[in-house]
Amino acid sequence: MEQPQHILGTGSLPAAPPDADLIRRYTDNGWSTSSLVYLSIGENWQGPPPGLVRALHKAVPSYAHGYTLSPYGLPLLRQVLQDYIVRSHRLRTLSCGETGVAVSQAGTRAAMHDFARLLRRRPRPPDTVLVPAPGWDYSGVAAPLGYHVVPYLLRGDGQPDPEVLRAQLMRHPRALLVINPQHNPTGVEWDTSVVRQTLQAAVATEAAVLLDDAYYAVVHPGHTPTNALALLAAETRDTDMPWLAVRTLGKQFNCNGWGIGALTARPSLLAELAEIVQERTFGTGMPLQAAMAAWLTDPASDAYVTDLQHLCAENRRHVTARLHTDLGYPAEGVQSGTCTSYLRYRVPPSWAAGGSTRPYRQRAADAGVVVGEGTMIPTPGGVGTWVRLHLVQHLQTLDLAIDRLGKAGLAWSGTVGG
């Protein structure tokens, strides 16, 4: 992995991320991080596509180094993004005034926070957010704003149960509902019918909706992804319920640090979001936005996404096979999925005592592999202890990780201390 001083700092300040302790365990044992395999989060520090780098050097107009007076991002990128969303989500048009697109300029986490904050300012604000479990760290966004975080459990097939979710929404009317159809961390894509029924339940209970479309483009090659944005726009067309779709571009172009994505919503809601954003900042990263605008109109950007899809699919198949054949995992012990850049698997029974992944993750880190938590949302009901692997890596790196896990006694039949 990248040298820790480049991405973690020196450790002289508090509040380091949780993985920092695992990385320091490895270096405290005398090893260099250059040999550490880091598979915890969706990052590999290998750099963005060459075409995007060239655009940053050659396609940035002089005005992009100054302020923009538009609260919706660089106008050039906003227009390109609108065309891109229409095309990639197979929408007829966004010019009818019902839906608009703005630039997410400081990461989608910040955009989610702004949306949740906006809702809290409205008359009869929601006090509950319903989030998928397992799931991403939505509670870390919403709880500090005063929301009561209520998980909705996914079924064994990785899908939400629309009827169970409808009952939860009826117990918490006017809640904020989060949906994540290309689901992180399971890699399971939610069925179109499930998403439609879920959205219909949201409309019936006057819930607000946050659509997390981070991995919309990261699906099996040739597969048409579940188009939750089109469903959301259709199901809410005759309502005034608030909704926001966020789609990061960092995941599909390996440029997470740029913090650029698309925000899709009604124009009136985008205007409210712009007011909140401007309370804390003017537009940021205009040269990056100009480069992204040029890159999205380059046919090479579509080719890059296709290559990423093939890489994830091939690595997913390979790692799944090795977990079964080399580490002895049963079929139900691996959740390989068909989308996102992650694969999830169970912690072996002997390492899962107490329902914590910590002993397993510490042992793996000592062996030179940092794996991620299988959920960032506490999952009630004792549905198992899981970890996840990030698949956007060289195949040799993933093979090295599997070899190290096996040698460290972390196969399915491994024993603590073995």
pLDDT tens, 101-121?
999 999 999 999 999 999 999
Give the pLDDT of residue 18: 77
Contacts of 127 (CB under 8 A, 6+ apart): 146, 147, 148
CATH number, domain 4-48+301-407, options 3.40.50.2300, 3.90.1150.10, 3.90.850.10, 3.40.50.300? 3.90.1150.10
Give the pLDDT of residue 354: 81
Q: Please give the C-alpha separations between residue 232 and each of 126, 196, 200, 205, 360, in angstroms, as whole numbers.
A: 19, 8, 9, 15, 40
- Model confidence at 87, in pLDDT bands (50, 70, 90)? very high
Task: Decide: 79 and 290 in contact? Cβ < 8 Å.
Answer: no
In the chain, where does the domain assigned CATH 3.90.1150.10 lie? Answer: 4-48+301-407
287 versus 7: the higher-pLDDT residue is 287
**Cα–Cα distance measured from residue 167 to residue 209, given in angstroms and rounded to the nearest whole number:** 16
**Cα–Cα distance measured from residue 33 to residue 27, given in angstroms and rounded to the nearest whole number:** 7
Q: Please give the C-alpha separations between residue 112 and each of 140, 248, 416, in angstroms, as whole numbers.
A: 11, 11, 40
Give the pLDDT of residue 15: 55
30 versus 89: the higher-pLDDT residue is 89
Give the pLDDT of residue 1: 59
- With the CA atoms of 200, 205, 206 and 208 taken in that order, what torsion angle do they form, in degrees rounded to the nearest 10? -70
pTM listed for this prediction: 0.94
Give the pLDDT of residue 300: 98
**Cα–Cα distance measured from residue 139 to residue 131, given in angstroms and rounded to the nearest whole number:** 8
Contacts of 35 (CB under 8 A, 6+ apart): 368
Which DSSP string do the residues of 385-405 spell out, in sequence order?
A: -EEEEE--S-HHHHHHHHHHH
- Model confidence at 408, in pLDDT bands (50, 70, 90)? very high
In single-letter form, the type of residue at position 62 comes to: S
Give the pLDDT of residue 64: 95
The CATH code that applies to domain 65-298 is 3.40.640.10
When mean pLDDT is compared over 15-19, 123-127, 214-218, 384-388, the highest value belongs to: 214-218
* Tokens representing residue 417 in the block: 């201390």
Contacts of 130 (CB under 8 A, 6+ apart): 150, 151, 152, 165, 168, 169, 172, 175, 176, 177, 178, 207
Give the pLDDT of residue 159: 96
In the chain, where does the domain assigned CATH 3.40.640.10 lie? Answer: 65-298
Please determine, for residue 38, whether its predicted confidence score (pLDDT) is greater than 90: yes
Give the pLDDT of residue 12: 62
* Tokens representing residue 23 in the block: 């990385």
Query: Which residues partner with 389 through β-bridges?
Result: 343
Please determine, for residue 11, whether its predicted confidence score (pLDDT) is greater than 90: no
The proportion of the chain whose per-residue pLDDT surpasses 70, expressed as a percent, equals 93
Q: What is the mean pLDDT of residues 369-374?
A: 95
**Cα–Cα distance measured from residue 291 to residue 75, given in angstroms and rounded to the nearest whole number:** 13
User: What are the two backbone dihedrals, phi and then psi, of residue 160, each rounded to the nearest 5 degrees?
Assistant: -70, 155
Q: Please give the C-alpha separations between residue 199 and each of 101, 172, 173, 384, in angstroms, as whole numbers.
A: 21, 15, 14, 28
Q: What is the mean pLDDT of residues 38-61?
A: 94
Contacts of 52 (CB under 8 A, 6+ apart): 253, 255, 291, 292, 295, 301
Q: Rounded to an integer, what is the distance from CA 330 to the centroid of its chain?
A: 27
Q: Where are the alpha helices (DSSP H) in 59-135?
A: 75-88, 108-120
* Tokens representing residue 210 in the block: 């946050």
Strands 37-39 and 369-373: parallel
Please determine, for residue 381, whether its predicted confidence score (pLDDT) is greater than 60: no
Q: What is the mean pLDDT of residues 274-293?
A: 93
Please determine, for residue 83, whether its predicted confidence score (pLDDT) is greater than 60: yes
- With the CA atoms of 341, 346, 350 and 356 taken in that order, what torsion angle do they form, in degrees rounded to the nearest 10? 80
Q: Where are the alpha helices (DSSP H) in 191-347?
A: 192-204, 228-235, 250-253, 267-280, 286-296, 299-325
Q: What is the mean pLDDT of residues 277-301?
A: 94
DSSP 67: -
Contacts of 282 (CB under 8 A, 6+ apart): 67, 68
Q: What is the mean pLDDT of residues 158-170?
A: 96
pLDDT tens, 303-349?
999 999 999 999 999 999 999 999 999 999 999 999 999 999 999 99
pLDDT tens, 177-228?
999 999 999 999 999 999 999 999 999 999 999 999 999 999 999 999 999 9
* Tokens representing residue 55 in the block: 């655009």
